[in-house]
Structure 1
Amino acid sequence: MTTDPAPPPERQLAAIAAAYADRRVDVLAVARAIHADPELAFAEHRAHDRCADLLEDAGFTLERGLAELPTAFRATIGTGSLVAVLCVEYDALPGIGHGCGHNLIAGSSLGAALALADLVDELDVTLQVIGTPAEEHGGGKQLLIDRGVFDGVHLALMAHPTPHTDTYDVLGSGSQAVGRWRATYTGRGAHAAANPADGINANDAAVIAQVAAGLLRQRIKDGQRLALVPQQSGVTNIVPETAVVDLECRALTMPEFERLRTQLVACLEAGAVATGCTLEIGASEPIYEPLVQDEVLGTAWNEAMASLGRPLNGSLGISNASTDMGNVSQRVPGLHPFVGITGAEAALHTREFAADAASAEGYRLMDDAAIALARVVRSVAADPAQRAAMRSRAAELESAHRAGVAARG
Structure 2
Amino acid sequence: MSTDFGATLRSVVERYADALIGLSHSIHAEPELAFREYRSVDKIVALLGAEGFEIERAVGGLDTAFTATYGSGELVVGLCAEYDALPEVGHACGHNVIAAAAAGAALGLRDLADRLGITVKLIGTPAEETGGGKILLLERGVFDDVALSMMVHPAPFESCASTSLAIVDFEVHYRGRAAHAAAAPQLGVNAADAITVAQVAIGLARQHLEPNQLVSGIVTRGGTASNIVPDHTTAVFDLRAADFDSLARLDKRIRNCFEAGALATGCTHEIVQLSPTYAELSPDSWLAAAYRRAVGEIGRSPISAEDELLLRIGSTDMGNVTRALPAIHPTLAIDCGDAVNHQTEFAAACASASADRAVLDGALAMALTTIAAASDAHQRSRLLSALAERSATSGGVA
In the alignment of these two chains, the number of paired residues is 391
| Paired residues of 1:330 and 1:397 also in contact (CA < 8 A) | no
| Paired residues of 1:341 and 1:361 also in contact (CA < 8 A) | yes
> Would you say 1:335 and 2:324 are equivalent positions?
no
| Paired residues of 1:301 and 1:373 also in contact (CA < 8 A) | yes
| Paired residues of 1:60 and 1:75 also in contact (CA < 8 A) | yes
CA distance in 1, matches of 2:390, 2:343: 36
SS in 2 for 1:55: helix
> Would you say 1:246 and 2:239 are equivalent positions?
no
> Would you say 1:316 and 2:308 are equivalent positions?
yes
CA distance in 2, matches of 1:292, 1:390: 16
CA distance in 2, matches of 1:144, 1:234: 39
CA distance in 2, matches of 1:367, 1:131: 18
RMSD: 1.7
How much does 1:316 deviate?
2.9
One-letter amino acid of the counterpart of residue 81, structure 1: E
Encode CA deviations 1:57-98: one digit per residue, 9 max, x unaligned: 110000012222121110111111111100001111111111
CA distance in 2, matches of 1:297, 1:69: 29
Encode CA deviations 1:373-406: one digit per residue, 9 max, x unaligned: 0011111111111011122334556677x59xxx
The correspondence for 2:138, drawn from 128, 145, 162, is 145
How much does 1:236 deviate?
2.5
Change (3 A) 1:155 1:207: same
Alignment match, 2:248:
258
Q: Which deviates further from its counterpart, 317-326 or 360-369?
A: 317-326
Alignment match, 1:178:
167
Q: Which deviates further from its counterpart, 289-298 or 185-194?
A: 185-194
What is the TM-score normalised by the length of structure 2?
0.94
CA distance in 1, matches of 2:99, 2:63: 17
Q: What is the correspondence of 1:216-365 to structure 2 with a 5 Å cutoff? A: 216-231=205-220, 232-314=222-304, 315-317=307-309, 318-342=311-335, 344-365=337-358
Q: Which deviates further from its counterpart, 335-344 or 211-220?
A: 335-344
The correspondence for 1:380, drawn from 362, 373, 377, is 373
Alignment match, 2:204:
215
Change (3 A) 1:215 1:10: same
Residue segments in structure 1 that go unaligned for 5+ positions in a row: 1-7, 404-409
Change (3 A) 1:399 1:344: farther
| Paired residues of 1:204 and 1:275 also in contact (CA < 8 A) | yes
CA distance in 2, matches of 1:282, 1:66: 26
Alignment match, 1:406:
none
Encode CA deviations 1:201-225: one digit per residue, 9 max, x unaligned: 2221111101100101111123221
| Paired residues of 2:335 and 2:349 also in contact (CA < 8 A) | no
One-letter amino acid of the counterpart of residue 111, structure 1: G
The correspondence for 1:134, drawn from 122, 127, 130, is 127
Encode CA deviations 1:175-229: one digit per residue, 9 max, x unaligned: 0111101111112222323332222222211111011001011111232210221
CA distance in 1, matches of 2:88, 2:177: 35
How much does 1:297 deviate?
0.9
Change (3 A) 1:212 1:227: same
One-letter amino acid of the counterpart of residue 224, structure 1: Q
Alignment match, 1:116:
109
One-letter amino acid of the counterpart of residue 318, structure 2: M
Residue segments in structure 2 that go unaligned for 5+ positions in a row: none
Report the identity percentage: 42
| Paired residues of 1:332 and 1:398 also in contact (CA < 8 A) | no
Change (3 A) 1:153 1:15: same
| Paired residues of 1:333 and 1:394 also in contact (CA < 8 A) | no
How much does 1:339 deviate?
2.2
How much does 1:257 deviate?
0.8
| Paired residues of 2:84 and 2:128 also in contact (CA < 8 A) | yes
Q: What is the correspondence of 1:49-128 to structure 2 with a 5 Å cutoff? A: 49-128=42-121
| Paired residues of 1:331 and 1:398 also in contact (CA < 8 A) | no
Alignment match, 1:157:
150
| Paired residues of 2:20 and 2:359 also in contact (CA < 8 A) | no
Q: Which deviates further from its counterpart, 314-323 or 96-105?
A: 314-323
One-letter amino acid of the counterpart of residue 316, structure 1: E
One-letter amino acid of the counterpart of residue 273, structure 2: A
CA distance in 1, matches of 2:268, 2:94: 41
What is the TM-score normalised by the length of structure 1?
0.92
SS in 1 for 2:233: strand
| Paired residues of 1:73 and 1:130 also in contact (CA < 8 A) | yes
